[in-house]
Structure 1
Amino acid sequence: MSNEIPDTMRQLRIIAPGETTWEVAPTPRPAAGEVLVKVTGISSCPHWDLHILGGEPMFPGQQLDYPYFPGKPGHEAVGIVVARGDGVTDLSVGQTVVAWRDAGTNRPGFYAQFNAFPAEYLLPVPTELPAAQLASLELAMCVEVSFQRLAMLGGVKGKRVGIAGLGPAGLVALQLARYHGAAEVVGIDRVASRRELALNVGASETVDSDEGLWAANRGNDQALDMAIDCTGVPPAVKFLLHRTKEAVALFGVVRGEIPYDGALMWGPGVTLLGYGDHNRLAAETALSAIAAAQLDLGVLISATLPLSDYVSGVEMLRTQQAIKVLFDPWA
């Protein structure tokens, strides 16, 4: 693949719910503080992709306008630096980089062949690692933030930790719990195939979230010490609260009220933690876990498709034929 910079490129644009174009556009040029990235792989982000292509805002109450910003909502990407804007000294042309943070909604995204992106939101990565192993680093950073929150209360080392929701975030959380020294990691999900995959990536055991199969009890040996909810579904959070001794951290986007029973205050009480802030340390920690072969992001990728087949890829996510899809903008 040549690293020459053409005058034009291809980019994806969602122009209406369920409708996209694979359009020709001018190749961007990096502004001060930016680099131009030649995109070699972009991982889907199921919640973003399903909502925006489906005509719903990602967060309740937000306004959603079409056509959507070009290249959006692509933000989990790996590529090669092919040009630098003024003031960029810590990244070099020819370096392989991965995006660790979404730079915001009001700018083009990575569903394109090239993207001009703030250098401060990119990390250099080993060239020998495949795109599937790197592209979802931004997700891993997001999940690591929840472990930072639990660290404020002593962390997960040596503890029995529950992860509710075994989609992409949950499968990352299972592995990071192990990386941070959890003694046992329990994967919780209604879908049997996801529970099976969780066992392959580090879960000590998996359970169905059917309350009839696991009676609520915060005082017995089956109880969790700490837990992370990756669903955002109030019944799932309630399930964890009534089976966890110390703290439940929220990662999934909450779409409803979460009841906190007065009995949860005692015994001692269980803490319900909100989310923290995205930060570079969380990204660097996740990248260290990858380098230590304790975080495998490649297991999240169920299929690789040309970016021009984006709608087909999102349909695979919607029908649960895929956990994540890696898109190739050059195929």
Structure 2
Amino acid sequence: MTNIPAEMQAVICYGPGDYRFETRPVPSPASGEVLVRVVATGICAGDVKCFGGAPMFWGDENRPAYCETDVVPGHEFVGQVVALGRGADEKYQLKIGDHVVSEQIVPCGECRFCRSGHYWMCQPHDIYGFHRATQGAWAEYMLYPAKAINYRLPETLDPLHGVFVEPLACSIHAVNRGNIGLSDVVVISGCGALGLGMVAAARMKNPAKLVALDLNPHRLELARKCGADIVLNPAETDVVQAIRDMTDGYGCDVYIEATGAGKSVEQGLLAIRKLGTFVEFSVFKDLVTVDWTIIGDSKELNIHGAHLSPDTYPIAIRMLEEGRLPIEDILTHRLPLSEFRKGIEIAQNGSASLKVVLEPGRKV
């Protein structure tokens, strides 16, 4: 390695609410590993939940903490290659100076899910920034492990925009889970960063009607830019009735929930037609209770979860390269790494932000 410092600045998790800005050694890449200089790293709802100390999964007593200690957070990122472990250049077709992203999960390749091709549900589930085995991106440098799934960004794409590949890839997977048809009326509830990605991805499916819901007028404007045919504000409109009115009283065919609010879940169950498809992709702060009779006896709904972003990174990169989203409007806040606490506060508040980005190389 040349021109790489021995030490770096990094954010370290010591526990809920106890994240510290420290000096740590720059890691060295072993065989098959890639060392990158972090260009940008995002803050998502999962990071906020982790910082607050909420449980990983409700009722999972074996893993009460959302994030392990002594971990560098951050699973949304883009880096520039500065060193390659033996064989990594050939394996990933990378060279020094390339900008590269890595899927947020590093699959073990050995569990039943990995062996069956469902690598994103890997049982050990090493996601960057949550476990000591896979350190995250809130640092000046980070390693992509030997089992990581990496993608080189095209030179025509602004490297900063690469920070949105991970969220957009997740959005694409959620839309794919909806099995959208050409005659469908599709409703996407929530036009945050993920929701806007879903609108753009759903537009590529060309449904008969694409409806976006949000309480924020500015976000609804961005949803139109992403391809929504109709935008509705639940604070101003009875959206359940409006959806029924535009579907001859039946309800929408597909409802994708992207708010993380219990009210949106209930709203979707009422707005969707019989035999419709409900897709859930959200990080909830609290438990959600709904009338399961609607799901079963009343409507016989298809309820689909959506987790991570299997096989969607190449599509996300192409969408960004083609300018299918108003990305400069989505990356609302750019802060130096040292201001990570401010970034968490902005992301947690949410009223004035879409995607908060930390840039280790950015000056205060």
TM-score tier, shorter chain, comes to 0.7 to 0.9
> Are residue 322 (structure 1) and residue 358 (structure 2) matched?
no
TM-score, normalised via structure 2 length: 0.79
Tell me by how many angstroms 1:112 deviates. Answer: 0.5
Which of 282, 285, 296 is the matching residue for 2:312?
282
Residue of structure 2 in register with 1:64 after alignment: 65
Alignment map for 1:31-70 (pairs within 5 Å): 31-45=30-44, 47-60=45-58, 61=60, 62-64=63-65, 68-70=69-71
Residues 31-78 of structure 1: CA deviation (Å, up to 9, x unaligned): 232200111111111x12222222323533442288833321x11111
Alignment map for 1:150-161 (pairs within 5 Å): 150-151=178-179, 155-161=180-186
* 1:225 and 1:244 in contact (8 A); partners too: yes
Residue of structure 2 in register with 1:101 after alignment: 104
* 1:48 and 1:58 in contact (8 A); partners too: no
Residues 54-105 of structure 1: CA deviation (Å, up to 9, x unaligned): 2323533442288833321x11111111111233212222211112323323
RMSD over aligned Cα atoms: 2.8
Which of 197, 201, 222 is the matching residue for 1:172?
197
Tell me by how many angstroms 1:207 deviates. Answer: 1.5
SS at match of 2:332: strand
Tell me by how many angstroms 1:192 deviates. Answer: 3.2
Amino acid at match of 2:143: A
SS at match of 1:136: helix
Residue of structure 2 in register with 1:87 after alignment: 87
Which of 208, 216, 222 is the matching residue for 1:197?
222
* 1:69 and 1:108 in contact (8 A); partners too: no
Quick one: structure 1 residues 99 and 277, their matched pair in 2 at CA, closer, same or farther if it must change by over 3 Å? Answer: closer
Residue of structure 2 in register with 1:78 after alignment: 78
Tell me by how many angstroms 1:249 deviates. Answer: 0.9
> Are residue 293 (structure 1) and residue 323 (structure 2) matched?
yes
> Are residue 258 (structure 1) and residue 257 (structure 2) matched?
no
Which of 158, 164, 167 is the matching residue for 1:136?
164
Identical counterparts, % of pairs: 26
SS at match of 1:135: helix
CA distance in 1, matches of 2:307, 2:136: 24
* 1:300 and 1:323 in contact (8 A); partners too: yes
CA distance in 2, matches of 1:36, 1:43: 19
- Bigger mean CA offset, 165-174 vs 226-235: 226-235
Residues 198-218 of structure 1: CA deviation (Å, up to 9, x unaligned): 233322222133597234587
Residues 193-242 of structure 1: CA deviation (Å, up to 9, x unaligned): 33233233322222133597234587642432212111243431221122
Quick one: structure 1 residues 219 and 206, their matched pair in 2 at CA, closer, same or farther if it must change by over 3 Å? Answer: closer
Residue of structure 2 in register with 1:214 after alignment: 239
Tell me by how many angstroms 1:282 deviates. Answer: 1.4
Unaligned runs of 5+ in 2: 107-125
Residue of structure 2 in register with 1:271 after alignment: 302
Quick one: structure 1 residues 42 and 218, their matched pair in 2 at CA, closer, same or farther if it must change by over 3 Å? Answer: closer
Which of 329, 333, 337 is the matching residue for 1:307?
337
Tell me by how many angstroms 1:253 deviates. Answer: 3.5
Tell me by how many angstroms 1:158 deviates. Answer: 4.5
CA distance in 2, matches of 1:14, 1:130: 30
* 2:281 and 2:307 in contact (8 A); partners too: no
Tell me by how many angstroms 1:302 deviates. Answer: 0.8
SS at match of 1:242: helix
Amino acid at match of 1:209: P
Residues 308-329 of structure 1: CA deviation (Å, up to 9, x unaligned): 0010111112222321211111
Tell me by how many angstroms 1:180 deviates. Answer: 2.2
Tell me by how many angstroms 1:186 deviates. Answer: 1.1
Quick one: structure 1 residues 67 and 236, their matched pair in 2 at CA, closer, same or farther if it must change by over 3 Å? Answer: closer
- Bigger mean CA offset, 163-172 vs 177-186: 177-186
